[in-house]
């Protein structure tokens, strides 16, 4: 039995407004660092280990997009500048588009592809076209990270594939998302597209809040076994926009449900911590966690399977009380204590082992955005190399 998302959202909002006691966060061991930020004010509404180092996976592509858009803003390139796929790009590990060496595509199409498809080969194409090499582009990424105050972040490549020394924090990812929204509001389509269309293929966004959670309008997901399922998400309600970062969930569904639950909690209340995002401290001494055993495993015959290609929500069961690895932190947090449940919550609790979902049926707000190959033959000479930053202590 699935619970209707709007009805459940309203129930939670009423429960929160009534001051219902919440169970302790410690019950949710499968979720890593989280943070909730008000976009307009930069105030932190909730955080849990937000400065802890974590593996970014494909959240890395947010900085790839930021550097590319910065190059456009500086007039070095335009969105119609063509980039050529190299042998190195074509050999990239999946997820990728599979373009052949010599294929040309514009920066505009390349950015749309990496933000929806999260294509590793196209990310390398952007890096080589704008930086001359992956290594030089990574230096450009790190320079922008330093300028933005992302003190726990270090990039080694433009796509987030596993690499020694690559790390970030929930706090830093919120800083980056806020910078993209504030500096490039005219490019918001990049992070709110529900899908792209390439030829006859329709490729849906891995951010499963878009089209399923009311008001969701961004941003980017990331996944490797070591990092778990990460998401930077944004949503707007009543003119108020929030950023939620969830790192280290153990399933794509748990990642999306957790983010949705955190949105519900903070759209229902204007309280906060009184702390600004910039003042959240990063841990620059520890090494990132590796949660491979939790995120990529097979648990029991016929049970849920979490594998390295596990970005597809449709392949996962609905979260259930008998499958705690697929039960999100925010879902548990949002449920009132047994003695003070409303009639609606009692009905939910009586459901046959199912955990209520905050995600409705998929209803995209726009048609798939077309992307295509072709464009100018090459980009202008790459940007000047940026001096390497001192390595973080954890690197």
Alpha-carbon distance of 280 to 275, in angstroms, equals 7
Q: Indicate which residue of 118, 169, 227, 357 is catalytic.
A: 118
- Output the pLDDT for position 252: 86
Say if residue 238 is exposed, middle or buried (CB neighbours under 10 Å; 0-12, 13-18, 19+).
exposed
- Output the pLDDT for position 165: 95
- Alpha-carbon distances, residue 6 vs 113, 116, 341 (angstroms): 31, 26, 18
- Output the pLDDT for position 270: 76
Q: Indicate which residue of 47, 61, 123, 328 is catalytic.
A: 61
Length of the chain equals 395
- Output the pLDDT for position 200: 93
Nearest to 227 by CA among 148, 310, 305: 310
Radius of gyration from C-alpha coordinates of the chain: 21
- Output the pLDDT for position 297: 65
Domain map (residue ranges) of the chain: 5-276+287-371
Q: Are 302 and 232 in contact (CB under 8 A)?
A: no
- Output the pLDDT for position 31: 75
Nearest to 374 by CA among 73, 97, 102: 102
123 is catalytic: no
Three-state DSSP state, 1: coil
- Output the pLDDT for position 272: 74
Which residue ranges of the chain lie beneath pLDDT 50? 1-29, 299-310, 313-352, 393-395
What are the start-end ranges of the H helices in the chain? 5-17, 60-73, 87-90, 107-116, 120-131, 134-148, 170-183, 189-192, 252-267, 292-295, 329-334, 343-349
Fold for domain 5-276+287-371? Answer: Beta-lactamase (3.40.710)
Element spanning 34, H or E = strand 34-38
């Amino acid at each position: 039995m699935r619970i209707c998302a709007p009805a459940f959202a309203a129930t939670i909002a009423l429960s929160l407004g009534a001051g219902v006691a919440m169970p302790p966060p410690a019950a949710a061991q499968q979720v890593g660092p989280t943070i909730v930020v008000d976009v307009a004010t930069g105030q932190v509404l909730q955080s849990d280990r937000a400065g802890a180092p974590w593996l970014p996976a494909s959240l890395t592509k947010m900085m790839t997009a930021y550097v590319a858009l910065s190059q456009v803003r500086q007039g070095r390139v335009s969105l119609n500048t063509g980039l050529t796929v190299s042998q190195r790009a074509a050999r990239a590990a999946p997820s990728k588009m599979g373009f052949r060496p010599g294929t040309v595509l514009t920066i505009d199409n390349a950015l749309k592809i990496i933000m929806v498809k999260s294509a590793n080969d196209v990310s390398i194409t952007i890096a080589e076209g704008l930086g001359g090499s992956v290594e030089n582009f990574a230096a450009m990424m790190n320079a922008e990270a330093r300028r933005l105050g992302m003190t726990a972040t270090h990039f080694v490549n433009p796509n987030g594939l596993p690499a020694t020394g690559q790390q970030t924090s929930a706090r830093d990812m919120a800083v980056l998302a806020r910078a993209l929204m504030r500096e490039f509001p005219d490019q918001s389509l990049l992070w709110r597209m529900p899908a792209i269309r390439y030829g006859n293929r329709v490729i849906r966004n891995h951010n499963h809040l878009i089209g399923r959670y009311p008001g969701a309008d961004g941003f980017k997901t990331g996944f490797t076994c070591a990092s778990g399922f990460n998401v930077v998400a944004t949503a707007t309600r009543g003119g108020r926009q929030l950023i939620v970062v969830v790192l280290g969930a153990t399933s794509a569904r748990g990642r999306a449900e957790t983010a949705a639950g955190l949105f519900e909690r903070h759209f229902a209340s204007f309280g906060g911590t009184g702390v600004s995002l910039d003042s959240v401290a990063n841990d620059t001494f520890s090494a990132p966690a590796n949660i491979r055993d939790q995120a990529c495993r097979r648990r029991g015959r016929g049970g849920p399977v979490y594998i390295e290609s596990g970005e597809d929500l449709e392949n996962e069961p609905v979260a259930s009380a008998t499958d705690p690895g697929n039960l999100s932190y925010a879902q548990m947090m949002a449920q009132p204590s047994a003695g003070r449940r409303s009639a609606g919550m009692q009905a939910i609790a009586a459901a046959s082992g199912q955990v209520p979902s905050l995600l409705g049926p998929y209803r995209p707000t726009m048609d798939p955005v077309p992307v295509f190959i072709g464009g100018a033959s090459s980009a202008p000479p790459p940007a000047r190399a940026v001096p390497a930053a001192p390595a973080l202590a954890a690197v």
